[in-house]
Amino acid sequence: MTTTRKAPWWESGVIYQVYPRSFQDSNGDGVGDLRGIEQRLDYIAALGVDAIWLSPIFPSPMVDFGYDVADYCGVDPLFGTLDDFDRLLKAVHAHGLRLLLDFVPNHSSDQHPWFLESRRSRDNPKRDWYIWRDPAPGGGPPNNWISDMGGSAWQWDEATGQYYLHAFLKEQPDLNWRNPAVRAAMTDVLRFWFERGVDGFRIDVLWHMIKAEGLPDNPLNPHYRAELGEKLKLLQIHSTNQPEVHDIAAAFRALADSYGDRLLVGEICLPVETLMHYYGREAPGVHLPFNFQLLDAPWHAQSLAAMIIAYEAALPAGAWPNWVIGSHDAPRIAARLGEPQARVAAMLLLTLRGTPTLYQGDELGIGKVEIPPDRIRDPQDLRQPGMGLGRDRSRTPMPWDGSANAGFSTAEPWLPLNPDWQQRNVQAEQHDSGSILSLYRELLRCRRASSALALGAFELVAADGDLLVYDRFDDRERVRVALNLAGNAIKLPFDFDPAAKLLVGTHPRESMGDMLRPNEGMAFRLSGPAAA
């Protein structure tokens, strides 16, 4: 296999998600900010990633912690100023990194000037910038749609006698993307940030942006269970994933491409066969439609192998895969799997074909964090208590060292720290060759040094019981990855080439051997030049 084209930076790159509220506080208010992120760029660069994705930093009432945007072309004072942003961006680039922003186009804050105008009267010029409807013939909401945060997706406005649509909180009214003026205004937003030098965007809930004409009722979900949360009572057939959204994605892509080597990542929570449409239909779509399958995949070798093979087979010609295993919305990897398997998961994520996205703190093995009832901040948890839907547990501050407040802030952090922060922090782990942080750094180093791991093809070797084995290869080398997903030793079902060289493993090893120890993963070169 020979690759002749020059791959864009993001194909061999690794994205690192920073949740700004929880990364580093520079001014002692207990909340992270842009200057704090700048202070920690040496850490991010030394980790070995290629790009930083920032969760929203825009002016916001913070009802949903920045995903309710009141000004798309500014910086919330909580995080700093536009000058702070420009300084951060310059510093990011000076570290050889790239910076992606979180673009939230489906909805704004109800405090955005556009919405304040829109709700002023039925004949306001911006009325149609949002989705307003009369009550149903018998009274009540216009249809049966349910908010992703629970409850009706419609909010009554007494002053104008109509309902407005909100797919999330009532403080997050949905924009009307069928209105050309909305498209033009939001395109200007993207252009504003591209002109400042950002390297791309992660596009929030891209699949939500267009609603079906006529806004018909969504059908009932025949497989609904209460523990799934209220939003899944219905199948979101008419409220999401409409064909016209691909025209919007194509327009975003054309704009990004006009600025050169820029990246668009789309948040799309849909089945794989539907997800693939977001790479583009008649015209190119987003570069990377986020692949979230590892977030809740059954942790069994055969299940993972089948999922990987099906995903690879579904990719359109020329499309590049990507993998996500942790995020600000999902439980921590180590909380789901335990630290021993979190190490194996790290090796899986960073050796599969495609662009991986890491979430801050997962490289430290942060596990379960209990949030006391009086410290809960997540509106999703507050609206549906006891459902286990809270996201605060994944947004706790980064523990940097063993000093007060883990070096995150001089004040009490806005959320509790992980309970073992005095032992599980950056300073402690970076000096421990056996730490999970050291493993992540070594995996990222090997990925960068190996052409096969960075851009090579994928081939399944074995998926039996708790053993998963696959090869990554190109015309220069073949690397084999063997993962033990169990707490007992497993014999490898193949003979070792005497010339095979261990590249990286979850456990220290003196020799290769034909057994994987419990919870062990290793990657070794079967052929090619000696390791760098």
pLDDT at 510 over 80: no
Give the model's pLDDT for residue 5. 64
Give the model's pLDDT for residue 528. 62
Which of 296, 275, 378, 359 lies closest to 67 in space, CA to CA? 378
pLDDT at 134 over 50: yes
Give the model's pLDDT for residue 215. 98
Helices (H) and strands (E) in the chain, counts: 15, 18
Catalytic annotation present for 204: yes
Supply 142's token pair.
């216009």
Mean pLDDT throughout 134-149? Answer: 96
Average pLDDT, the chain: 95
Give the model's pLDDT for residue 2. 44
Rounded to whole angstroms, the Cα distance separating 130 from 122 reads 11
DSSP track, 308-324:
HHHHHHHSPTT---EEE
Q: What percentage of residues in the chain have a pLDDT greater than 70?
A: 98
Catalytic annotation present for 158: no
Confidence of residue 231 (pLDDT cuts 50, 70, 90): confident
Within 13 A of 389's CA, how many CA atoms are on the CB side? 20
Domains and CATH numbers, the chain: 9-107+179-211+240-443 (3.20.20.80), 113-165 (3.90.400.10), 456-527 (2.60.40.1180)
pLDDT tens string 169-227: 999 999 999 999 999 999 999 999 999 999 999 999 999 999 999 999 999 999 999 88
Mean pLDDT throughout 298-310? Answer: 97
- Edge-first strand order for the sheet with 501-505 is 457-464, 467-473, 478-484, 521-527, 501-505
Give the model's pLDDT for residue 360. 98
pLDDT at 522 over 50: yes
- The type of residue at 158 is E
- Give the torsion sign (CA, 166, 168, 169, 173): negative
Give the model's pLDDT for residue 168. 97
Give the model's pLDDT for residue 189. 98
- Give the SS3 label for residue 481: strand
Q: How far is CA 364 from CA 45, 102, 359, in A?
A: 16, 24, 10
pLDDT at 1 over 70: no
- Give the SS3 label for residue 16: strand
pLDDT at 128 over 70: yes
- What's the pTM? 0.96
Rounded to whole angstroms, the Cα distance separating 384 from 398 reads 27
18 DSSP β-pair partners: 54
Name the H helices within 119-233. Answer: 180-196
Supply 129's token pair.
């910038």
Confidence of residue 514 (pLDDT cuts 50, 70, 90): confident
Q: How do the residues of the chain divide into helix, strand and coil, expressed in percent and rounded to 5? A: 30, 15, 50
Q: How far is CA 314 from CA 18, 355, 367, 458, in A?
A: 30, 16, 33, 14
pLDDT tens string 307-365: 999 999 999 999 999 999 999 999 999 999 999 999 999 999 999 999 999 999 999 99
Give the model's pLDDT for residue 327. 96
Mean pLDDT throughout 263-274? Answer: 97
Mean pLDDT throughout 102-128? Answer: 98
pLDDT at 254 over 50: yes
Catalytic residue among 110, 148, 174, 204: 204
What is the chain's length? 532
Which of 216, 223, 214, 218 lies closest to 235 in space, CA to CA? 218
Mean pLDDT throughout 273-283? Answer: 96
Mean pLDDT throughout 10-17? Answer: 98
| Burial grade of 207 (CB within 10 A; 0-12, 13-18, 19 or more) | buried
pLDDT tens string 56-98: 999 999 999 999 999 999 999 999 999 999 999 999 999 999 9
Is 152 in contact with 146 (CB distance < 8 Å)? yes
Give the model's pLDDT for residue 502. 92
pLDDT at 4 over 60: no
Catalytic residue among 38, 50, 230, 267: 267
